[in-house]
Amino acid sequence: MKIKLLFVLFTLLFINAQAQDYIFGKVTSEENTEISGVTVINIRTDERILTNRDGHFMISGRSGDELRFVKNGYERANRRINSENISAPVNITLVRAAALIAELEVKKEITGDIKIDSKNLNPPRKVEKLKSDLAIYMKRKSAPSVLASRPGEFVQPVTKGVFSIGKVKNKWDDMDLLNYLQTSLGEEFFEDLKIEKAQIQHFILYILRTGFERKNILKYGYVTDADLNRFKNTVLNRISAYKTP
């Protein structure tokens, strides 16, 4: 009997440890402008998604995961996720990468001295041969194996995450709907439900994740009065379950 009880407890602990949640947040620049098209990678699961046009992202994960943020022209950023990041937005600021300044060639003027001018104007034979060998090498075609990505090297992802890469069928995604609901209902609506301001987005996401039907809303990018009332009713039905530990 004790062995069975220990086995059940171990199974529950294992399931809880492996449980996935969603991490959401926003990526901005140093000028506090939203950055779209940032690749967000969960290092543990290798899931990859892109930030939407407002810089928002949402990716599955759990406490202890490490997220990586990659965007051309910006320094790469990493963020270790803790329990607080599961219940509150993760705000990331990307720093622009330093641009390299092209090297300027300083040409020496003719002095009139044959010995000096011959050295300055006529490069050594070794330099000439090196330039010739490089020109021949650059004309050769590279083998496919040379151009192929190496193990562990980052390539443009084909994602299975929340935001689509390529052809987009829906006008909205979940973050668009989340922002609309928060703005449309207002903070007072959630304050009356005893939902703290920092928990509003997490609570809306909880309602969406627990089966709120939104297929047509995302497809057409439009919320009707009936949809809004249906969301309110869903909130009232699930607020108790949300607050239950």
Give the CATH number for residue 86.
Answer: 2.60.40.1120
Residue of higher predicted confidence among 235 and 134:
235
Residue of higher predicted confidence among 200 and 117:
200
Angle of helix 174-192 versus helix 225-243 axis, rounded to 10? 70
The residues pairing with 49 across neighbouring beta strands, listed in sequence order, are 40
The mean of the pLDDT values for the chain is 78
Distances (CA, A) of 171 to 186, 215, 216, 221: 23, 11, 10, 5
In a domain, 146, yes or no: yes
What pLDDT, on a 0 to 100 scale, did the predictor assign at position 87?
A: 75
In a domain, 165, yes or no: no
Q: Are residues 99 and 50 in the same domain?
A: yes
**12-26, 31-45, 146-160, 228-242: the lowest-pLDDT one:** 146-160
In a domain, 168, yes or no: no
Q: Are residues 15 and 113 in the same domain?
A: yes
Residue of higher predicted confidence among 243 and 79:
79
In a domain, 86, yes or no: yes
Place of tokens 């075609």: 141
Report the alpha-carbon distance of residue 232 to residue 245 in Å, rounded.
Answer: 22
Looking at 92, 126, 160, the residue that finishes a domain is 160
Nearest CA-CA partner of 237 in 210, 216, 197, 205: 210
Looking at 136, 160, 184, the residue that finishes a domain is 160
Q: Which amino acid is at 199?
A: Q
Confidence of residue 97 (pLDDT cuts 50, 70, 90): confident
Kindly report the number of other CB atoms within 10 A of residue 116's CB atom: 12
DSSP 3-state assignment of 187?
helix
Residue 21 lies in domain: 1-160
What pLDDT, on a 0 to 100 scale, did the predictor assign at position 14?
A: 46
For the cut 60, the answer to whether the pLDDT of residue 139 exceeds it is yes
Q: Are residues 125 and 11 in the same domain?
A: yes
Of all residues in the chain, what percent carry a pLDDT higher than 70?
67
For the cut 50, the answer to whether the pLDDT of residue 8 exceeds it is no
**93-97, 99-103, 142-146: the lowest-pLDDT one:** 142-146
Of all residues in the chain, what percent carry a pLDDT higher than 90?
39
Helices (H) and strands (E) in the chain, counts: 9, 7
What tokens were used for 182? 């928060």
For the cut 80, the answer to whether the pLDDT of residue 35 exceeds it is yes
Q: Are residues 42 and 104 in the same domain?
A: yes
Distances (CA, A) of 184 to 134, 180, 194: 64, 6, 18
Confidence of residue 57 (pLDDT cuts 50, 70, 90): very high
| Average pLDDT value for residue range 155-165 | 46
Task: Answer yes or no: pTM beyond 0.85.
Answer: no
| Average pLDDT value for residue range 3-30 | 64
Residue of higher predicted confidence among 72 and 128:
72
What pLDDT, on a 0 to 100 scale, did the predictor assign at position 160?
A: 44
Q: Are residues 135 and 187 in the same domain?
A: no
Looking at 132, 160, 188, the residue that finishes a domain is 160
Q: Are residues 95 and 57 in the same domain?
A: yes
Confidence of residue 21 (pLDDT cuts 50, 70, 90): confident
E strand or H helix that includes residue 239: helix 225-243
Kindly report the number of other CB atoms within 10 A of residue 43's CB atom: 13
